[in-house]
Chain A
Amino acid sequence: MQGSGNRGSWWILLLGALLLVAGCLSEIDLEVPEAADTSIAIRGRLNVGEMPRVSIRITDLAGFNASSIPQPVSGASVVLIDEFDRGVDVPMVRPGIYELDLSTGTSGVEVRPGRAYRLSVSTAAGENFVSDFETLYPAPEPAELRYISTRRDVLNEVNNIVNREFVRFLLTTPVVAAGSNDRSYLKWEFTGTYKFPESVVASPFPPGARTCYITERLQLEDVVTFDGSRIDGNVLRDFFILEEPFDYRFSNGFYLTVRQQSLSERAFRYWQEVGKVVDLSGNFFETPPGKVKGNFQNVDEPEKEVFGFFYAYSETIVRLYVDPGNEPPMPFCPLTTASISSVDTTCLNCLLRSGSTLIRPAFWEE
């Protein structure tokens, strides 16, 4: 749940303060054991939403050491199978990545809510893997996405206390999808799109300055989920899903895109466990990490560990425009120092930014 992941860090800060000095976090060198064997990780998802498709990524495991890079497993035969044992091949589009666009229909396999699917993977090395069946559930349509502004004191980059504004996004959604009687297990993913002029000053824009639209994933390191059975009614109201600092990204307009996904209970548990292991801070009250168990099995050697998960979900999308208001925050561009020589080069060429385009997104309305 939102907020719970950071609780331990807060505790440490509090305790540190009580002791007149903050507790400290620092990097250390540790001799970490390597993985015992060459296990494989298969991650797949079947998405029925704005862009229905099935995507699979197959690699071996990355070791803990920096030099260890996961190697893609190419040349595998990947088949999406429905509960009637009908299958459709999923082709490799890049090394280790297998995808199939479902928007144009598939021969033999009908993808729709209420049905269950699984993946079968046979590698070029002769290993065979199969996932458990995952049922596709319909996703409820969010009723409202809104934001509120809050202000609070924080430490800035040079350790001074400043009062800053934050944007807190609240979502209202039914937890039961139309035509369904089941309460949904919900998961959300977020992207932010903002307009970014090539300028380091607020006004006037330099002649020839371009305007980019930059899309970034938000809250990548957190997993935000909700079990629909945890509320009394059928509507989850003003659920606090995300908070972002009101910074330069909001200066010329900002769109938040929320992808609401409806998962199976098994997939929901998997993502909860992933959420726990990616958000560790070593604090007093933290639950010790464990192995996140997937739903793939090695057909020939069942005792051999296979990592990763295949799941199917429906997705509904809701967007919200955050108006910059009358007084856009300064600076327009994320200046690091007052010196022009230290200005982020993306301020002068916005296309250098990852996820940047000069084409205005179709949803962008001003």
Chain B
Amino acid sequence: MHPIYKLLIIGALLMSSVLLPAQNLEDLKITATFEATPTAEVLSTIQATHPVAFYFRSEDLPSAPVSITFQETPLPEVMNRLLAPGGLEYLIYRDYGIVIFPANYLTANYTADFYQALDQQLSGGADPGNQDPDRTIGSLETMRPSGRARISGQILDNQTEEPIIGATLFFTDINAGTATDVDGNFQIEVPSGRHDLSIEYVGYQKIIESVAVLGDGELRVRLEKEAVNLEEVLVKAEALDVNVESTQIGVEQLDVKSINKLPSFLGEVDVVKSLLLQPGVSTIGEGAIGFNVRGGEVDQNLIMQDDGMLFSSSHALGFFSSFNTELISFVTLYKGNLPAQFGGRLASVLNVEMRDGSFRDYRLKGGVGLVSTKVSFEGPVVKEKSSFITGFRSSYSDWVLNFVKLPEIRRSSAKFYDLNFRYTHRLDEKNTLSLAAYSSHDRFTYNELFGFDYNTLMGQAIYKKIFSDDLFSKLSFTASRYESTQLDLDGADASELDNNITYYKIREQLTYTPSRELQWDAGISSILYQVEPGAISPLGNLSQVIPGELEKEQGLESAAFLNGNWTLSPAFSISGGLRFAAYQFLGPKTVFEYADPENPSGENVVTTTRYNNGKVIAAYTSLEPRLSMRYRLGPSASVKAGYSRTSQFINLIANTNTPTPNSLWQLSTDYIRPLRSHNFSVGYFKNFDNNNWETSLETYGRLIDDLFDYKDFADLTMNDQLETELLGGIGRAYGLEMSVRKREGIVNGSLSYTLSRTERQVEGINEGNWFPSNFDKPHDLSMVFNFQPNQRYTLTFNFIYGTGRPTTAPIGSYVEVNDLVVPIYSDRNQLRVPDYHRLDLAFTMGQSHKVNKKVKTSWTISLYNIYGRANAFSVFFTQRPFNTPRANKLSVLGNVFPALTFNFETI
């Protein structure tokens, strides 16, 4: 509808409702005579002499004068006789106004809901008995022909200006609601009119107000943190059933508050350790780098910090994760069923979004622990316009080493730090630019004999633009470099071995929301990888190492994607899309040619081929459908199903119990094919007690149609024929995940259990039979129990149980001529290490919840591994001449680990 007509209708009727006395226009009788009078003048005369007002565009009225007589003629008849010849129609609104339009305009474009809504709006405004609304959204001018209005906006923390993720907006009178997304944004479509709106989030004061929704508009709300007492904790507001309602299956979302509550190792709260409490997520033990999702290997997880990928997600060989929780906005883990926006890994996406600094106030926050300290500082650069946030973590564990009796340890050193910085500039209301930098460094040396040294440097620029209420854009550019060095400081092998990877990534994503039932996400991305697979140089006078360097490699991974979220009915919704990925392995490089390319070996090299810079050595494409469906079985239950095809063009080469910082990232080549998998999930979700209890039952399957494993005794270091050490195969993983979660209350927590298998079949290993993967854990259980009698004290327990991971055992031995006992090992992974279990406790006290207190402090005491279980990381076997053979277990942690952390925060 042309805006001027809206104005005619709305403005005129508003005016008429105020100025004219009440009377039924259809009963109004007109008596008047006009001779050769323009229509506009006829209308003006009637308006002047009768209680009616006309609104029209003069150019719509016929220019020819009319001669006409009315004698006690009803107004509808007057209008018909006057307007019909000119092809005009009219609208009688209530008792006072008539709006004139070209014929058929109104009926063709406006629904009954429009008039009903309009009626409600105007009557509400006209009735002096109605109270004024607390808030008015939009205007009648922006009302849609459907009579509905789309409200978009953001919920923020009033003090810090941080977006609040997962805050709920609920229109109680029409039983409609939504929740804020990762940026604190929301969008909802409701009927125009007066509504009762409730906005709430745990730990914040609830807002309940009356809103007049006139048309499309924005709503920006700041919530105040609340001073909570015991009674308030007990109040359980009705929460949204996000787990039941969402279309996507296999998603775990963590908020920072939950992460901070959990018991932590040496007092350092950790994102990855929190993920391990979720069903389908496991690890092979303490000290292992990374995590396994639904039977996927560690490198099959895409680790994202904003739009940048991290190749090293941990410090201190896996004991701490790379993420500084002080700077995290939210954490989402997609398990297997990835939306089309994500790709490049088989198993999962861990999406860690960092937050902006406060646009209003300066704020300092930190924690001091036994071996590490973290601090963050944020505030406005230009108030309400631009902000910064920076965070720093560092370890200082060397003093601990001096308490250790072993001299070798006293001569050792272990340090790490990481630094985050983010600057956000609101160019205007619709454009935002963020610049982010991340740097981390780890260094270990042992007994001045050897060590590891690894660094990550990453920079990102993210530009967000709002084109309209329907259309958003996010453009990002990332550049990152990961460097690792293995130091051997003594003996004939003394050397420095480097391998590095650099990538440049550009990504654009458009989000289009034409209606509340439909949302499209489309975009493109491209990543240029540059890998330096190895350079070695001797160290010291005794070194026999020959300096050398493997040729650099590069690859280009590009993708285009389209994903739609479509609510077909209140019960049924679909999230589906397509991702097209194209990968090219590029020169310059010299490639070995083998007599049998399917079974390359050092002995059957035929020749070598030289490829120049940029020349395509190998190319692969992958068309990846993604689909997730939800069907509601009632107000608190749903079933979901999902499928996704995924592929992976870069892999971690690590034939060890766990990847090392120096493990090589290897691009797919002409011999090392990309990994590909089909992922399936089906789940049932049911909530109880106003969504305070969440339960779910999910089953999943994954078929990997291209994977590789390692030959026995594979030599992976400084090997320019890596393909000769690998064997191709297929894999499968399947399982059942169950979880129960109580969200709030004095006692809350969760229980997760996963029953699963992960197997592979590789020609050349175990006679080509299926065998369990290194991280196959049939039973995996975790429990979290929170006791929070008030907001000052929190007591948390968590318990972990898992089947021991597979290992390979000797089944016999023989004695060599020189009396050396040589064990004979069974087929791969035929035995298991003993089962894993552990109980932890954390007690946080002194949390102040006085809103006006400027500095808040708290202490956290944690006990990790309370009953001192010496869980086996691995088992190995020793047999000496003439002695009994022995099985030994290696336990990384054999005792309870206490920790004390002091936390502070300025407001």
Contact = CB atoms under 8 A, between A and B. Distances in A.
Do the two shown chains form a genuine complex with each other? yes
A239 B895 CA distance: 41
B811 A32 contact: yes
Interface string B468-490: 00000000000000000000101
Interface stretch (A16-24, A199-207, A322-330, A340-348): A16-24
B890 A273 contact: no
Interface string A132-164: 000000000000000000001111000101000
Contacts of B408: 10, 13-14
Given A14-B412, A18-B397, A57-B817, A281 B809 contact: no
A116 B812 CA distance: 31
A230 B414 contact: no
Given A14-B444, A28-B834, A62 B894 contact: no
Contact of A20 (B400, B493, B873, B875): B400
B804 to A, nearest CB: 10
A43 interface: yes
Nearest to A12: B890
Contacts of A289: 808, 810, 823, 825
Interface in A245-286: 272-274, 276-278, 280-286
Given A22-B406, A307-B824, A10 B449 contact: yes
Given A27-B888, A284-B656, A287-B714, A21 B895 contact: yes
Contact of A276 (B410, B713, B897): B713
A288 interface: yes
A170 B892 CA distance: 35
Interface string A298-331: 0000000001100000000000000000000000
Interface stretch (B71-79, B331-339, B697-705, B877-885): B877-885
A127 interface: no
Given A3-B491, A61-B814, A221-B880, A236 B544 contact: yes
A285 B713 contact: no
Interface in B822-844: 822-826, 828, 830-831, 834
A105 interface: no
Contact of B884 (A35, A66, A282): A66
Given A2-B491, A27-B886, A239-B544, A14 B891 contact: no
B872 interface: yes
A280 B877 contact: yes
Interface string B371-410: 1000000000000000000000000010011011111111
Contacts of B892: 12, 15-16, 19, 23
B746 interface: no
B18 interface: no
B888 A10 contact: no
A26 B891 contact: yes
Shortest Cβ-Cβ A-B pairs, 5 listed:
A290-B712, A153-B407, A282-B874, A41-B814, A282-B876
Interface of B: 266, 287-288, 316-317, 319, 371, 397, 400-401, 403-410, 412, 414, 444, 446-447, 449-450, 488, 490-493, 541-542, 544-546, 655-658, 660, 712-714, 774, 807-826, 828, 830-831, 834, 870, 872-878, 880-881, 884-895, 897
19 contacts: A14-B446, A18-B400, A20-B400, A25-B889, A27-B888, A32-B810, A34-B811, A41-B814, A66-B885, A239-B492, A239-B544, A276-B713, A277-B825, A284-B873, A287-B713, A287-B714, A289-B808, A289-B810, A290-B825
Interface of A: 1-4, 7, 10-30, 32-36, 39, 41, 43-45, 55, 57, 59, 61-66, 68, 70, 152-155, 159, 161, 170, 189, 217, 220-221, 223, 226, 230-232, 236-240, 272-274, 276-278, 280-293, 307-308
Given A20-B403, A277-B822, A290-B825, 6 more contacts: A3-B492, A3-B493, A10-B446, A24-B870, A27-B887, A33-B830
